[in-house]
C-alpha cells in the first residue's frame, strides 16, 4: 500500500484522508474529505473507498474483513433495489448476505474482523 503523510500549516493528508484547519481568530473551521466513488456496475469496495454511490448497479461486495473498525457508506441511487454482499463469508449484522438496500437508502457498515461480522451502524431512507 502506498502511503503518504503530508503536513503543512493548515493541512494533514494521509492517503485519501485530508484534514484542513483554518483559524481566523474569531472562528474555527475544520473539514474532513473522504473518498467518494460512483459505480455503474457490480463492484467490490476497495480499501481506499469510503462512500460509494450505486447507479444502475445490482451488487456491492464488501471486501474480506480488512481491519477492525473499517467503515463504508453505501448509497443506492440505482432506481431499484441493490444487494450488499460479503466476499469472505462474513455476516452482515449476524445475518447471511445478501442484504437488500432499496432505492435512495444509505447504509453504513463497520468491520469486526475478529468475529467475521460487518455491523450496520446506520441506515437511512
> Does residue 86 register a pLDDT over 90?
yes
CA distance 29 to 18: 14
- Model pLDDT, residue 57: 74
Do 18 and 77 fall within a single domain?
A: no
Q: What's the confidence (pLDDT) of residue 47?
A: 84
Q: Which three cell numbers stand for residue 97?
A: 448476505
Are 82 and 113 contained in the same domain? yes
Bond prior to 98 in cis (omega within 30° of 0): yes
CA nearest to 125, candidates 109, 108, 104, 111? 104
Do 77 and 45 reside in the same domain of the chain? yes
pLDDT reported for residue 43: 87
| CA distance linking residue 35 with residue 51, whole number of Å | 6
The boundaries of the domain holding residue 13 are: 1-33
Query: Are 7 and 43 in a shared domain?
Result: no
Looking at the fold, whether 95 and 115 belong to one and the same domain comes out as yes
- In the chain, the number of structural domains is 2
Confidence of residue 110 (pLDDT cuts 50, 70, 90): very high
Same domain, 24 and 43: no
Instruction: Judge if 49 and 79 occupy the same domain.
Output: yes
pLDDT of residue 23: 47
CA 122 to mean position of chain CA atoms: 12
Q: Is the pLDDT of residue 1 over 60?
A: no
Quick check: 86 and 62 in contact, CB under 8 A? yes
Q: Are residues 99 and 109 in the same domain?
A: yes
Instruction: Please tell me the pTM assigned to this model.
Output: 0.72
Residues 28 and 52 in one domain: no
Residues 9 and 61 both lie in one domain = no
Q: Are residues 25 and 52 in the same domain?
A: no
What are the tens digits of pLDDT across the range 38-75? 887 888 898 888 888 888 778 899 998 778 899 999 99
User: Is the sign of the CA dihedral 59, 102, 39, 113 positive or negative?
Assistant: negative
Amino acid at each position: 500500500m502506498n502511503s503518504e503523510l503530508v503536513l503543512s500549516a493548515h493541512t494533514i493528508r494521509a492517503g485519501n484522508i485530508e484534514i484542513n484547519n483554518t483559524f481566523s481568530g474569531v472562528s474555527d473551521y475544520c473539514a474532513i474529505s473522504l473518498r467518494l466513488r460512483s459505480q455503474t456496475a457490480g463492484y467490490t469496495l476497495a480499501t481506499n473507498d469510503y462512500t460509494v454511490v450505486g447507479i444502475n448497479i445490482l451488487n456491492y461486495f464488501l471486501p474480506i474483513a480488512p481491519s477492525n473498525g473499517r467503515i463504508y457508506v453505501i448509497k443506492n441511487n440505482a432506481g431499484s433495489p441493490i444487494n450488499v454482499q460479503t466476499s469472505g463469508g462474513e455476516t452482515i449484522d449476524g445475518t447471511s448476505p445478501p442484504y437488500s438496500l432499496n432505492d435512495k437508502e444509505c447504509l453504513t457498515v463497520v468491520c469486526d474482523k475478529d468475529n467475521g461480522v460487518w455491523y450496520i451502524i446506520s441506515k437511512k431512507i
